[in-house]
Structure 1
């Protein structure tokens, strides 16, 4: 039986301030967004996707992007990144001090047209302007591939199509790519096989994973990625989030669930579990709901120890 060695440490990037908030139709006041970000900063999180510099008409929830960044600049212990759809978005992000930009790209033309009003090829050609600008500003740029494990319009994405996208990214000088299961269509076998291929073909490319728990397979997919040596994962506090252009896509993997799972396997995250659960509770109270967090529903197993209930006594 083949044995897998899991990483000893991983880096979690908190994406609720972007991916989580953008899925909310009810306006979240800027003060509340800043409060959540400040609370997250106390948990040990070292990386955060703080917002997206999209046109306010596209995602009204993020129209306060500049203000949110300006009001959290003192959080020097966190590396902030921002999602940018175009050159104008990149310029806005850099103007308020963002030092890492994440490019927006779909794996399929159907999703790309819905999300960015252009084909995949056209979108990657447009990214050249962003990369040139970022290089002049000494800003890091990472790539992404949405619906990499399945498109709600086209179904399973051929591996060959993903290889072409990664190849174009590599030629543009990108060295880090986020593979996103935007609608929760991926499975562990698929994750494992795709990573084996991509890591084999592009050994110098760093891949990170962005899993949604729409169909309950996010943690299993994380383990499959860990077995392939992946050490960077996105997650969202309280399981918030989703793609506004992907029907039924709500439910990022919850940060508190991911921290619990990893720490249970003795994989260090640097995040305090109790603190992240408490922050998830605070976030849920502000937003009004969660996106399917197991820690908020059941809590860690430590809450069960040394607390016998009447039912426990009867079962014993």
Structure 2
């Protein structure tokens, strides 16, 4: 069990992009400001994708331009291709994230190409990032199951993770995209990938569709993982997963970690307040069980 955990807050990107209500740039900036003030030091703030495809992420360039890129907080953005990378550089981004799937079918359905082709598409993106001193993080989706193929072979998860690491990603986040995994599966996946690229280069990203996210995270922490992705107020939900309830809540994750004596550097009360703020803007209640209990 690690003594400290770095939380990568993905609510302003992975969370909001799957919400039905589009949030304006000013509100997104206010959310990010509140999350940073709470002590979060890695906050994914948007994605440079076509507004036609994901209208919720329109204006990401405006968000990035208004953030203090010289402070101690990292503000990664998701980049799908060279065009997006050029826009990210122009806006002043200092860290990007790229993505690949462990499922061939999901890759074709999601980005209309094979896994191998998706990796090659990112090669020039990483070259652009390196030339501009921009850090690169990698995501692997469907590591514990695919909505089209069902179970995903562990060898496929290891292979994609290895290729992203070789491409130049400093960290690989393993994602249970449809929230179907259980603790033993999560532990097995982390252990297999860690044998190849090292536990220090791994993060985990769990959706709580079937209520297994916290148990899965704990299993991975016990394997030595010290970086966990989460979303304030449990924002989001995978559009490919029936009944998806979104990412694991940052508030709930903090409650568990602090209860185990794990250091995060994040103030739970401030994150709860940030979650209530954005939930009100979305016109719904918070998805955090801890927040619901504390405001009852």
Q: Which category of TM-score, normalised to the shorter sequence, fits these structures?
A: over 0.9
Which residue, out of 114, 123, 128, partners 1:119? 114
**Structure 1 position 219 matched with structure 2 position 250:** no
* Closer, same or farther: CA 10–204 of 1 in aligned 2, 3 Å: closer
C-alpha separation between the residues in 2 aligned to 1:193 and 1:27?
37
**Structure 1 position 31 matched with structure 2 position 23:** no
Deviations 1:287-314 (A, max 9, x none): 11246311122129xx9xxxxxxxxxxx
Residue pair 1:175, 1:205 contacting (<8 A) in 2 also:
no
C-alpha separation between the residues in 1 aligned to 2:260 and 2:199?
27
**Structure 1 position 8 matched with structure 2 position 3:** yes
C-alpha separation between the residues in 2 aligned to 1:101 and 1:281?
28
Q: Which residue of 2 aligns with 1:195?
A: 190
Q: Which runs of 5+ in 1 are unaligned?
A: 1-5, 304-316
* Closer, same or farther: CA 191–119 of 1 in aligned 2, 3 Å: same
Deviations 1:87-118 (A, max 9, x none): 11111111111111110211112211222111
C-alpha separation between the residues in 2 aligned to 1:116 and 1:205?
29
Q: Secondary structure at the match of 1:79?
A: coil
Larger Rg: 1
Which residue, out of 222, 227, 234, partners 1:232? 227
Relative to the length of structure 2, the TM-score reads 0.95
* Closer, same or farther: CA 275–79 of 1 in aligned 2, 3 Å: same
Which residue, out of 267, 274, 277, partners 1:272? 267
Q: Which residue of 2 aligns with 1:147?
A: 142
- Number of positions where the alignment pairs a residue of Structure 1 with one of Structure 2: 296
Q: Secondary structure at the match of 1:210?
A: strand
* Closer, same or farther: CA 160–26 of 1 in aligned 2, 3 Å: same
C-alpha separation between the residues in 2 aligned to 1:168 and 1:38?
34
Q: Which runs of 5+ in 2 are unaligned?
A: none
C-alpha separation between the residues in 2 aligned to 1:243 and 1:96?
28
CA drift of 1:76 comes to 2.1
Relative to the length of structure 1, the TM-score reads 0.89
